[in-house]
Amino acid sequence: MRPVHAGYIPYTALKDGSIDLADIARMNDWLDINADNKARIQQWEKEQ
């Protein structure tokens, strides 16, 4: 559901099979990396 919530795909793509588990895994990985990068940038900005 995270890719849907983030606006990358519509919910119907999950239901109709146009998106497979590998696509969802890739999007979830990217969302994790993006969140981690944002947290690191915020931490770095605090330390400046």
pLDDT in tens, 1-48: 999 999 999 999 999 999 999 999 999 999 999 999 999 999 999 999
Q: What is the pLDDT of residue 38?
A: 98
DSSP string, 1-48: -HHHHTTSS-HHHHHHTSS-HHHHHHHHHHHHHHHHHHHHHHHHHHH-
pTM of the complete model: 0.82
